Homo-oligomer: A and B are copies of this chain.
């Protein structure tokens, strides 16, 4: 049978309460006793059962992480930030993807209600009002990632999609392009919408007429980037530059360009959003918007831990939007492609 607290108590000639006090470093215990118990525990390689502890304390030291998908540069890096933070606070991570096809909501509820975790980091860029119900039902604190900005009243972290899109659009404009197209992200996706708004506003602010025929729907996938770009290029009225709402779609655009013999940026400039690793090895290197994704994860986790530990009021709304920055490659026409110092650029995050 597995060795438990009783065993240690018996072997040490004390009560289990004392053993517990020692294992938790809590409450007064004579040095001598403590030493002895510690030694015996060590000899027998005893570790308090987290499960039993969880039952008694109503705390699991585990954080739930719910992402739309697991496979993706983007999500990986989020997890990385989360993991680093969790690890440094001795918390465990329970990850789960709400794979679009499954019933996210149900999964989430189960997760939270079950008492399996002390708190949840939830990324659901496509959820709107439903999310209020879900979160309010939960007794555990929840931090939202990259959700609709209207989600105030809740705690959320995200990146400043609007500003990033605005900046990169202005960058295109600064090149002198007037006819600028965009392949958008999913219709009901908070981030996609913000990027679109930034795009439109940048045009407007710079006195460029917004032409709806230059804007084509997409869904953040390579395929939709490929098709969207192809379609845009096939139109009568040609654009001079295209803002792909994310890098994945930009990759699709590169492929499409290759296919229809269009040269980037000579024939058309292309920019993206996200600054994922593959964009850095495209030729020419993609001009895109860098988002501090690892930091996003760690910040969210950090805040969640504070909510759990009561350092901040879990009820208090809190929103943070991390700022973005441009990464200039050669795809926008900047002729910056060979200036780069390759290695650091390729490995930074």
Q: Is there a chain B Cβ closer than 8 Å to A83's Cβ? A: yes
**Prevailing SS type, chain A contact patch:** helix
Contact A71 B62, beta carbon cutoff 8 Å: no
CB-CB under 8 A from A99, the residues of chain B are: 87
Q: Is there a chain B Cβ closer than 8 Å to A93's Cβ? A: yes
Q: How far is the CB of A260 from chain B (nearest CB, A)?
A: 12
The count of identical subunits is: 2
Q: How far is the CB of A54 from chain B (nearest CB, A)?
A: 5
Contact A114 B76, beta carbon cutoff 8 Å: no
Q: Is there a chain B Cβ closer than 8 Å to A153's Cβ? A: no
Contact A343 B223, beta carbon cutoff 8 Å: yes
What's the interface size class on A, roughly? 35 or more
Expressed in whole angstroms, the Cα–Cα distance for A34 and B167 within the complex equals 61
Listed by A's residue number, 16 A-B pairs whose Cβ atoms lie within 8 Å are A2-B115, A2-B139, A47-B114, A49-B114, A51-B55, A52-B55, A70-B79, A70-B80, A75-B76, A76-B76, A92-B96, A92-B116, A222-B346, A258-B338, A277-B278, A278-B281
A contacts, CB < 8 Å to B: 2, 45, 47, 49-52, 54-55, 60, 62, 70-73, 75-77, 79-80, 83, 87, 92-97, 99, 102, 110, 113-116, 137, 139, 221-223, 226, 251-252, 254-255, 258-259, 277-278, 281-283, 338, 342-343, 346-347
